[in-house]
Amino acid sequence: MTRIATRPYPYRTAELLRQSGVHPVLARLYAARGLTDVKELSSDMTALIAPAGLLHIDAAAGFLADAIDARKKLVIVADYDCDGATACAVALRGLRALGARVDFIVPNRFEYGYGLTPEIVALTAKEKSPDIIITVDNGIASIDGVAEANRRGIDVVVTDHHLPADTLPAARVIVNPNQPACGFPSKNLAGVGVMFYVLLALRAEMRRRGIFDAQTQPKLDALLDLVALGTVADVVKLDANNRILVAQGLKRMRAGRMQPGIAALFRAAGREARRATPFDLGFALGPRLNAAGRLADMSLGIECLTTDDEGRAWAIAQQLDEINRERRTIEADMQDTALALLEAINPKDSATISVFDASWHQGVIGIVASRLKDKFYRPTITFAPAGDGWIKGSGRSIAGFHLRDALDLVSKHAPTLIDKFGGHAMAAGLTIRADAFDSFSAAFEAVGREWLDRSQLERVLETDGPLEDAYFTTQFIEVMDGQVWGQGFAPPVFCDEFRVVNQRVLKEKHLKLQLEKDGRRYDAIWFGHADALPDRARVAYRLDANEFNGVTRVQLLVEHAESI
């Protein structure tokens, strides 16, 4: 079930924003999203929260400055998703610009799993001979891995954003806004954002030491296209601080001032960088990078982001595009299998979904979990074989159900059930024995029934209510596209009552519509929906500028519709 609701907003706040010069529609959109001060709309770098607020960041800057001065070898240990790849690229480009000797290694997820494990430390020591390991987008849970590095005389600097466990690793320095006692106001930095902040602090430390001045220092803002991509693709909340990072990155992309790999990914995805939006980053560029980590080796994605050779970047981007096509095929097959399995259990009678199939691919289970969660609106975990009697699960959650905390509770109730787990509120991963799948499913369902009531298992599509006729224009769409929307700062969805003038099904799966309101007619399309609408309907929609034969017209992208 999906129910359309109108997002409330404080009228006085909206009016104050309007009086401050904000577009009248944007004023109520912002007010509905909790924005109260026009200063929160600033996208200037000067409005960014200062690095000093991050716990231990000065210690990290001093330690790394000493290491660079001593010509020590640094090795980045990266995660294998888009956030990890961009964080690695930011670290490599930034540290090299600051004079460091630096290399990287990214674990093969199927061979070594996630994070700085003892096995990865051994591999890194053997292949790279580091003096210092720097983790990006991982490490906060790597207690055993850090201990192994310490045993080998390798210092570890952890940069991460994931939630910590009760015990922290014994690293030389930890920079993570979510670690205990860190008072940094924005807890929502992605891994790439944390690494960018470390570079800002390191550059400031090197200025203090007289190595650079304001004129000779490296321009770290050249990395903001990478920061924006990783931030959007990791679906972290776009609070005011993250919106600045994303806005600055998009500004560089639109101006053509981006890494060759970013430009190549736009080209491979058939998108125009001069019109770059968060949607492009999250649904076109991000998946192509993620596909490398899911099906192949994220080293390919990292090379794409770090090469300055435009020809090489384009060749890799084409490879990534092919891998992504393969990923989509595998995903579709897995989703069909999952839906067939769920026919026997009817998810509407359950609070959670857990599914496993011996033929599934580890690299794609997270996407399938996300699709099933979207379809049935239940916290969902999908499992694939991991060898030697183990299976790995990847989960996606719904509002009001903290997935990592749920796994923690399952682990506390049945200490031998889960081998390891980690993640955050909306996404998490775990490893269990294959023969424990049924026991885990039952324990996970018990937590779901305890934490969720029926109303929470109903999808509520929040909209911004009706849109005045005067704003169904491409000019207003340009105004909206100039803002940074995303996770935690939802893109506008409007809702109006329309007469359905005509409708037809395209390619057996998309509903093409002509809708009428107040005597005006609008083209509309509902992707992935083929069932006809009644003569009159309440329609939730996004505005889209549809270009065809050189003419741009307003089109409504239908999110949901219900009879009046």
- Please check whether residues 37 and 79 belong to one and the same domain: no
Tell whether 441 and 546 lie within a shared domain: no
Q: Indicate the residue among 414, 438, 457 that finishes a domain.
A: 457
Place of tokens 């005597």: 519
Q: Do 503 and 436 have their domain in common?
A: no
Cβ burial of 381 (10 Å; 0-12, 13-18, 19+) is buried
Res 110 pLDDT > 70:
no
Range of the domain at 406: 346-457
Same domain, 394 and 495: no
Phi-psi region of 539 (alpha: psi -120 to 50; beta: other; left: phi over 0): beta
Spell out the residues 6+ positions from residue 136 whose beta carbon is closer than 8 angstroms to its own: 76, 77, 78, 79, 84, 87, 88, 90, 91, 159, 160, 191, 192, 194, 195
132 and 171 Cβ atoms separated by less than 8 Å: no
Gap between the Cα atoms of 61 and 364, Å rounded = 37
- 276 inside domain: no
Residue 259's pLDDT is 98
At residue 101, the pLDDT reads 98
Q: How far is CA 524 from the centre of its chain?
A: 28
Instruction: Tell me which residue of 243, 286, 277, 237 sits closest to 487, measured CA to CA.
Output: 237
Each residue's pLDDT tens digit, 112-154: 777 899 999 999 999 999 999 999 999 999 999 999 999 999 9
Which of the four pLDDT bands, split at 50, 70 and 90, describes residue 200?
very high
Model confidence pLDDT, tens digit, residues 52-80 = 999 999 999 999 999 999 999 999 999 88
Residue 294 lies in a domain: no
pLDDT for the residue 504: 97
Structural domain includes residue 416? yes
The owner of tokens 């030389």 is 172
CB distance 404 to 424 below 8 Å = yes
The pLDDT value given to residue 548: 82
**Residue 239 CA to its chain's centroid (Å):** 14
Handedness of CA 35, 41, 47, 53 (dihedral sign): positive
Are 76 and 202 contained in the same domain? yes
Name the burial class of residue 439, with classes exposed (0-12), middle (13-18) and buried (19+) by CB atoms within 10 angstroms of its CB: middle
Reduced to 3 states (helix: H, G, I; strand: E, B; else coil), residue 432 is strand
Q: Are residues 215 and 87 in the same domain?
A: yes
What CATH number is given to the structural domain containing 9? Answer: 2.40.50.460
Q: Provide the pLDDT for residue 447.
A: 97
Flag whether 309 is in a domain.
no
- What is the distance between the alpha carbons of residues 299 and 88, in angstroms, rounded to a whole number? 10
Q: How far apart are CA 384 and CA 541, in angstroms?
A: 36
Q: Would you say residue 176 lies in a domain?
A: yes
Handedness of CA 534, 535, 538, 539 (dihedral sign): positive
Q: What are residue 63's DSSP bridge partners?
A: none
**Quick one: pLDDT band at residue 422, thresholds 50, 70, 90?**
confident
Which uninterrupted H or E stretch holds 20?
none
Our separate counts of H helices and E strands in the chain read 19, 17
pLDDT of residue 129: 97
Residues 27 and 59 in one domain: no
What is the residue-averaged pLDDT of the chain?
A: 95
Tokens of 92: 């490599």
Q: Is residue 297 predicted with pLDDT exceeding 90?
A: no
Q: Packing angle between helix 403-413 and helix 437-451, nearest 10 degrees?
A: 120
CA 312 to chain centre: 26
For residues 120 and 93, membership in a common domain is answered with: yes
CATH number at residue 431: 3.10.310.30
pLDDT tier at 278, thresholds 50, 70, 90: very high
The band of 426, judged by pLDDT with boundaries at 50, 70 and 90, is confident
CATH number of the domain bearing residue 196: 3.90.1640.30
Token pair belonging to 351: 């609070």
Q: H or E segment at 190?
A: none
The whole-angstrom separation of Cα 420 and Cα 414 is: 13
Helical pair 260-269 and 310-342, crossing angle rounded to 10 deg: 50
Q: Are residues 125 and 227 in the same domain?
A: yes
- In this predicted structure, what is the pLDDT of residue 379? 97
Last-in-domain residue among 219, 239, 258:
258
Query: At which of 424, 457, 490 does a domain end?
Result: 457
Same structural domain, 410 and 532: no
Domain count of the fold of the chain: 3
Distance CA 232, CA 221 (A): 17
Residue 405 lies in a domain: yes
Provide the pLDDT for residue 115: 87
Token pair belonging to 447: 């937590």
Q: Cβ(503)–Cβ(518) under 8 Å? A: no
Of 30-34, 160-164, 378-382, 437-441, the least confident: 160-164
Is 305 domain-assigned? Answer: no
The reply to whether 422 and 487 lie within a common domain is: no
Report if residue 425 sits inside a domain: yes
| 168, 52: one domain | yes
Q: What is the pLDDT of residues 327-363, one digit of tens each?
A: 999 999 999 999 898 887 778 889 999 999 999 999 8
Q: Give the rounded percent of residues in the chain with a pLDDT score beyond 70.
A: 100
Q: What are phi and psi of 22, to 5 degrees?
A: -80, 140
Burial class (CB in 10 A: 0-12, 13-18, 19+), 275: middle
User: CA 80, CA 536: separation in Å to the nearest integer?
Assistant: 48
